[in-house]
Structure 1
Amino acid sequence: MSEPVGIALIGMGWWGKKMLAVLAGAPGDIRVVRAVEPNVESVRDLCAEKGIPLSAAYADALRDPAVEAVVLATPHSLHGAQIEAAVAAGKHVFCEKPLALTKAGAEKAVGLCRDAGLVLGMGHERRWEPPISDMLAKADAGVLGRLHQIEANFSHDKFLSLDRDNWRLKADQAPAGGMTATGIHLLDLSVRLMGAAESVLCICEQLSSDLPNGDTVAAFVKFRGGGTSYVSASLANPFISRFAVYGSKGWIDIRDKAHVESPDGWIVTSAMAGGPITTVEIPPAEPVKDNLVCFARAVRGTESYPITAAHLVDNIALLEAVFASALSGKMEAVA
């Protein structure tokens, strides 16, 4: 067996801590060898307990020969420069979503990693949820027939307790309500299933909170190859996560029983043409861990990473058009 891929966790806030926790139970493919957090005191004891070197400077991770890859759990606006620096240092990159806030930014990140022969992983762990993975396989195999529509919602109220100057609520880093927090996952799955988008109409409103960028967002997407997706998200109602895809031969509706932060399984309702509607429960899994393990195996060349360059760019092109439509209130073309 080859040695585990040594990674540096960059950003030890809410999600950085989540990734550190799940990797404690990961197989021997990946190992945290360094952590970087500007607010060192906030995680000093945690990192000392885990025996992980901690520093405040990103450059420390890039200079560390034990670090083969960086895992960016950092504010969206930092991703571009951090990816560029990682590539210059010869480090593979796993980036939390969104990869960028513009199509041009996504294209640059993808191109830098591709040209350097480095793996670019993405924090779209929804693809590793067992029922989502099964749904994608069925769609790819034609079991669902011609795909017609997608309906999806991913909402929670976790951000209501954040300080209003938190970067997750700033207009330049998280436009259009919950679209960069939760809706981006649904856009990713929509593009994965339906291909590149053609146009989008997005409505973002502030309905029941003082969240500065709105608390409720909905986007209606038309795809170049036909078909539509309705994606919605709220940052001001209790948790719900639902993803449903409808095709000429069957449909599948997947509902999470809990947020991916602490997964508790899924309820899957489906039907095939001429058959009954069935409902099954899927036990808990850890898709955040499974995504990171898949990334590490791609670094070692033992497994291909399923989120392609085209998926990454097409998703951010759609996200950029969502932002434009949220501002204009009109249907916007996707670049």
Structure 2
Amino acid sequence: MIKGPVKVAMVGLGWWGRKMIAVTKGAAEDLDVVCAVEPFGETAEAFCNDNGIRFFREYSAALADPEVEAVILATPHDLHEEQLDQAVSAGKHVFCEKPLALTREGAVRAVRACESRGLILGMGHERRFEPPVAQMLAAASDGTLGRILQVEANFSHDKFLSLDPSNWRLNSSLAPVAGMTATGIHLTDLAVKLLGTALDVRVVCENLASPFPQGDTMSAHVRFRDGGTAYISATLVTPFVSRFAVFGTKGWIDIRDRAHVESPDGWVVTKTSTGMPIEVSHVPPAEPVRDNLVAFAHAVRGESEYPIKASEMIENIALLEAIIASAKNGQVVALA
């Protein structure tokens, strides 16, 4: 068994790629970013020099590097499937930013490609690694919350108002349905984890306060095959808000972020259980982006299983595909 930190290539040096490089410095014993790939941007090479990272303009150069064991894809959504296929062909493990794909078929191909070569596939769903969210998932799993009935969640911000209109994040084909692929995809990931396979979804997506071609205000109402519902909102024109609440027959938990995950400032957790008073607590800051990458590195080394199951990755993208379809006309869309 190979020992030591997993040697990785960061593919994409935009806002989020640089964020991930910054947090990996706190996980040097598990993960070592040895090179980065960025075909655009005059500051990328200087950034790499400042951080002691080898710089490539071509993705193929990183894949051909024998030191690289894994790649982290922090690239536009439409590149994920092809870049993942290329990494798998080169025998590299893959950590992919969300969404894994824009269709269920694409997600299935990605999962099967990695499984066929015995490679680990990690996903940028760092919300699962936030301490209060991890505790909430555990309480749901062990029965503490009873039968899970409903999820209510909102993850919205106005960061994109300052973007140049040419930015890929404001492209309705690459990032459809308001904030769905930027933030809402995290909420559906948690809803699928809690309630299982979605049955159908109805979406309202409007453009109320911006020129964004994908709309700026969306909400989705999801029904699940085994019962239960989820309400998901992901808006692009409000001050930051992030709330995730789950309701069960024995208790409920409401988790609110104090700041965006790029600069964590902890959480306010409100909860209760049958016959008990409502409790409010403050959870100190943590670094879930780093912790997700560390979990990926441990799985690559064979020390533990990666906690996000392949089936959950596929079900989440199946729901995303249905959300995109429903947003076009507001009709209920059933999942295949």
Mark yes or no: TM-score above 0.5. Answer: yes
- Number of the residue aligned with 1:49: 50
> Deviation at 1:75?
0.4
> Deviation at 1:3?
1.4
Q: Runs of 4 or more off by more than 6 Å in structure 1?
A: none
Contact in 2 for aligned 1:40/1:56 (Cα 8 Å) = no
Cα distance in 2, alignment partners of residues 156 and 295 from structure 1: 28
> Deviation at 1:166?
1.2
- Number of the residue aligned with 1:263: 264
Deviations 1:29-86 (A, max 9, x none): 1100110001252222221111110011000110001100000000000000000000
Cα distance in 1, alignment partners of residues 26 and 291 from structure 2: 10
Unaligned runs of 5+ in 2: none
- Number of the residue aligned with 1:72: 73
- Number of the residue aligned with 2:161: 160
- Number of the residue aligned with 2:333: 332
- Number of the residue aligned with 2:137: 136
Cα distance in 2, alignment partners of residues 209 and 328 from structure 1: 20
Contact in 2 for aligned 1:164/1:212 (Cα 8 Å) = no
Cα distance in 1, alignment partners of residues 229 and 240 from structure 2: 24
- Number of the residue aligned with 1:116: 117
The amino acid across from 1:70 in the alignment is V
The amino acid across from 1:290 in the alignment is D
The amino acid across from 1:315 in the alignment is N
> Deviation at 1:329?
1.0
1:314-329 equivalent positions in 2, closer than 5 A: 314-329=315-330
> Deviation at 1:172?
1.2
SS of 1:104 mapped into structure 2: helix
Cα distance in 1, alignment partners of residues 51 and 241 from structure 2: 33
- What percent identity do the matched residue pairs reach? 60
1:7-22 equivalent positions in 2, closer than 5 A: 7-22=8-23
> Deviation at 1:203?
0.5
- Size of the aligned set, in residue pairs, is 335
- Number of the residue aligned with 2:188: 187
1:210-289 equivalent positions in 2, closer than 5 A: 210-289=211-290
Using the TM superposition, name which of 36-45 and 312-321 deviates more. Answer: 36-45
- Number of the residue aligned with 2:98: 97
> Deviation at 1:247?
0.0
- Number of the residue aligned with 1:33: 34
The amino acid across from 2:16 in the alignment is W
The amino acid across from 2:34 in the alignment is V
The amino acid across from 1:297 in the alignment is H
The amino acid across from 2:36 in the alignment is A
Cα distance in 2, alignment partners of residues 334 and 125 from structure 1: 26
User: TM-score if structure 1 supplies the norm length?
Assistant: 0.99
Using the TM superposition, name which of 87-96 and 43-52 deviates more. Answer: 43-52
- Number of the residue aligned with 1:174: 175
SS of 2:294 mapped into structure 1: helix
Cα distance in 1, alignment partners of residues 151 and 3 from structure 2: 41
Unaligned runs of 5+ in 1: none
> Deviation at 1:27?
4.3
Cα distance in 2, alignment partners of residues 147 and 71 from structure 1: 34
